[in-house]
Amino acid sequence: MNICMIGAGYVGLVTGACLAESGNEVICVDVDARKISLLKKGEVPIYEPGLETLIKRNVKEKRLTFTTDLATGVKNSLIIFIAVGTPPNRDGSSNLNYVYEAARGTGKEINGYKIVVTKSTVPVGTAEKVKMIIAQEAKHPFGIASNPEFLKEGAAIEDFMKPDRIILGVEDSMVEELMRELYAPFVRTGNPVLTMDVRSAEITKYASNAMLATRISILG
């Protein structure tokens, strides 16, 4: 499948490289021109075991490319992941401006049926807001999904390639079918793809983070 990954940060690069490794054509888009220029030269801006090898192999096989041009990414892809940063605001809430900016840009460039997936960690209701923003701009039908990421830095490739479970929030069966197809190579060992509505997927990520934080603070 043709995939666009908006945000070539930690999550975007790991997800993009792993999806390319499973045979998809992935275009990573980032607003950071310096980062994209490094990646184009084969330099990986973050350290994560196995990531550089994976990126180099998939770039060589022409399944993984990098650009600052959102239009190229969106127009050439069926599934568009939003994996941009969501830094904390002063009050501790997430700054969703990058997410909304990516959604607005995506909506403007949609040139046929697309699925737009929120991968960034976002509060409940964000996917619906993303849908509204895209709808204001888009001239073609599209579907949305919420697919939070659970990878741990230091074991990110392993976590992505062999996930305990994949959380998929969807609104319709076509989106579910295509997303299941995309993830099929990663769940061959029988780990589940848990589908639910988009709000449930969004709260699952926060519930999981809260559980992990509680476990660490109690057990050390």
Ligand X SMILES: NC(=O)c1ccc[n+]([C@@H]2O[C@H](COP(=O)([O-])OP(=O)(O)OC[C@H]3O[C@@H](n4cnc5c(N)ncnc54)[C@H](O)[C@@H]3O)[C@@H](O)[C@H]2O)c1
In the list 121, 126, 147, 204, the residue contacting ligand X (rule: CB under 6 A) is: 121
Q: Tell me if 81 sits within 8 A of 103, measured CB to CB.
A: no
Q: Which of 31, 59, 71, 161 binds ligand X (CB under 6 A)?
A: 31
Nearer to ligand X, 14 or 175 (CB): 14
CB atoms within 10 A of CB 66: 23
Residue 12 contacts ligand X per CB under 6 A: yes
Give, in order, the Cα–Cα distances in Å from 8 to each of 44, 143, 197.
Answer: 10, 23, 27
Task: Specify the DSSP element, H or E, that contains 25.
Answer: strand 25-29
> Residue 164 Cβ, how far from ligand X at the closest point, in Å?
14
Q: How far apart are CA 219 and CA 215, in angstroms?
A: 6
Structural tokens at position 168? 């998929």
Stretch that binds ligand X, among 26-34, 135-143, 172-180, 188-196 (CB under 6 A): 26-34
* Closest CB to ligand X among residues 61, 154: 154
| 204: contact with ligand X by CB under 6 A | no
Nearest approach, Cβ of 101 to ligand X (angstroms)?
4
Is residue 103 within 8 A of residue 116, CB to CB? The reply is yes
- Contact positions vs ligand X (CB under 6 A): 6-12, 29-32, 35, 83-86, 98, 101-102, 120-121, 149, 151, 153
